């Protein structure tokens, strides 16, 4: 996707970015009711607020941005507005384009929107192309396969070598489809400039620790010893020289 060729529109209270391949997207596309029976809630992973949309041309995933933790009790779907350039949906749209240009396995961004809400708040949503046949990592029928974990270790290493700090790397944000592994959900993620300073690579360790915690929680079908054995295969593949 060439971001420079994309289109954007806004009314002063909203900003819509659309990938060039999907000209014709409007703000209505970000409301499940617009799709009628074609929009089905995503029931696994995440905090809700996501729908699978099946159209004649392609399948998509619509995701509304929602808070987690204690902040969700105060403002579940609104964020402090500091300018459209800082809106989370638009930042993720641009980041997806950059990651795809690097040849990394991520979904294709269709469009993103941010709505200014009252004076100091905004809401956001994004549309991405659905990956056919994909399941979350913990739902993969190959979950007990050492080769799958080694493949995941290599994929994470590719992202890290390209500077991607995935701040919420967990089993629900890893998809498996036809032998390929994809990372998804890049909200608040960023590309980090390469540095020789070991302290600047602490984010890589945080990513791996976040995933390790998720594996312990989201893979109950595996025994504790199985999980740790498979994790070692991932860890060794991650550290293997490319």
- C-alpha closest to that of 7 among 109, 77, 105: 109
Cβ partners under 8 Å of residue 128, min gap 6: 60, 61, 63, 96, 107, 108, 109, 110, 184
Q: On the CB side of 3, how many CA atoms lie within 13 Å of its CA?
A: 15
Helix H or strand E segment including 182 = strand 180-183
Q: First and final CA of the chain: distance in angstroms?
A: 27
Compute the distance between CA of residue 81 and CA of residue 226 in angstroms, rounded to an integer.
Answer: 46
Question: Beta-strand (E) ranges in 118-159?
Answer: 121-129, 135-136
Parallel, antiparallel, or unpaired: how do β-strands 39-41 and 50-54 relate? antiparallel
Catalytic residue among 33, 168, 196, 200: 168
Going from the C-alpha of 35 to that of each of 39, 61, 62, the distances in angstroms are 6, 12, 11
Compute the distance between CA of residue 57 and CA of residue 141 in angstroms, rounded to an integer.
Answer: 28
Find out whether 75 and 89 touch, Cβ atoms under 8 Å.
no
168 included as an active-site residue: yes
Q: Which residues are catalytic?
A: 168
């Amino acid at each position: 996707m060439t971001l420079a060729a994309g289109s954007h529109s806004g009314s002063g209270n909203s900003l819509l970015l659309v990938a060039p391949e999907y000209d014709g997207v409007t703000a209505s596309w970000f409301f499940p009711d617009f799709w009628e029976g074609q929009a089905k809630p995503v029931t696994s992973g995440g905090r809700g607020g996501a729908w699978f949309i099946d159209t004649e041309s392609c399948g998509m995933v619509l995701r509304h941005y929602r808070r987690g933790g204690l902040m969700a009790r105060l403002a579940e779907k609104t964020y402090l507005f500091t300018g459209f350039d800082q809106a989370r949906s638009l930042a993720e749209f641009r980041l997806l384009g950059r990651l795809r240009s690097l040849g990394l396995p991520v979904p294709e961004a269709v469009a993103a929107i941010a709505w200014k809400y009252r004076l100091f708040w905004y809401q956001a949503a994004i549309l991405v192309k659905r990956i056919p046949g994909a399941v979350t990592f913990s739902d993969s029928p190959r979950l007990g396969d050492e080769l799958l974990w080694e493949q995941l270790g290599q994929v994470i290493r590719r992202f890290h070598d390209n500077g991607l700090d995935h701040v919420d790397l967990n089993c629900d944000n890893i998809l498996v489809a036809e032998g390929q592994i994809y990372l998804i959900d890049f909200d608040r993620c960023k590309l980090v400039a390469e540095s020789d300073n070991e302290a600047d690579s602490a984010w890589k360790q945080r990513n791996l620790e976040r995933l390790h915690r998720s594996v312990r929680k989201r893979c109950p079908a595996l025994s504790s010893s199985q999980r740790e054995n498979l994790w070692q295969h991932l860890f060794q593949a991650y550290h293997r020289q490319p």
